[in-house]
Amino acid sequence: TTFIIELPPYRLPDAKTLLLHVWDKVRDFIVRAGTIIFLMTVLVWFLQSFDFRLRPIEDSSQSIFGLLGGFLAPVFSPLGFGTWEATVALLTGLVAKESVVATLGIVYPEGALEVMFTPVSALAFMTFTLLYTPCVAAISAMRREFGNTRWTIGALFFQTAVAWVFSFLVYRIGSLLASVF
């Protein structure tokens, strides 16, 4: 038998309707992303400005973030970005990946990024950021889909291990190529 379906006539969308629809989606994204970035920026500033006794400090490396990042930084040293600043930027990325950039802007003084990262270490950092554990919203969705906390934790460790290995390869191969050329 033949199947016949009648399609409505195709029409160009009205420009006003299209623009309103696009504006609604863009505004929604800006509000959601902007809220997260703003809240993370305030949290990063606080954690960078105070010690564990909640006393204001001058040296950021002695702050809550500085000490936590300094503790975890050796894990990232083989990847070319073993500083506490880069480490805490990755930690804030667990809340929302967009906050990695905001954190780097807060913890590094103006112009310091160019000194702290070589082109190869920056590429390794970006590789790690793209591949490591997703944000909290994605983690909760994974937990819901797996229906098991053990599988979720295993997946998070696997993603982080894959990110570490690929970032390591990018850094080592990139360093080798940079030394040759």
Q: How much is the average pLDDT of 6-34? A: 90
Query: At 137, which amino acid appears?
Result: A
Name 50's bridge partners: 56
pLDDT of residue 127: 97
Q: Which of 177, 3, 179, 169 lies closest to 79, judged by CA? A: 169
CA distance 108 to 42: 15
Cα–Cα distance list, 127 to 155, 162, 169 (Å)? 18, 10, 10
Q: Say whether 149 sits in a helix, a strand or coil.
A: helix
CA distance 92 to 105: 12
> Bigger pLDDT: 105 or 126?
126
pLDDT of residue 131: 96
The answer on pLDDT for 69 being more than 80 is: yes
The answer on pLDDT for 92 being more than 70 is: yes
Convert the pLDDT of each residue in 155-176 to its tens digit: 999 999 999 999 999 999 999 9
Cβ atoms 51, 57 nearer than 8 A: yes
Name 56's bridge partners: 50
Single pTM value for the model: 0.78
Helices (H) and strands (E) in the chain, counts: 8, 0
Q: How much is the average pLDDT of 57-66? A: 89
Mean pLDDT of the chain: 91
> Bigger pLDDT: 131 or 32?
131
pLDDT of residue 1: 66
CA distance 90 to 75: 12
Q: Tabulate helix, strand, coil % of the chain (nearest 5).
A: 75, 0, 25
Q: How much is the average pLDDT of 46-63? A: 90
Q: What percent of the chain has pLDDT over 70?
A: 99
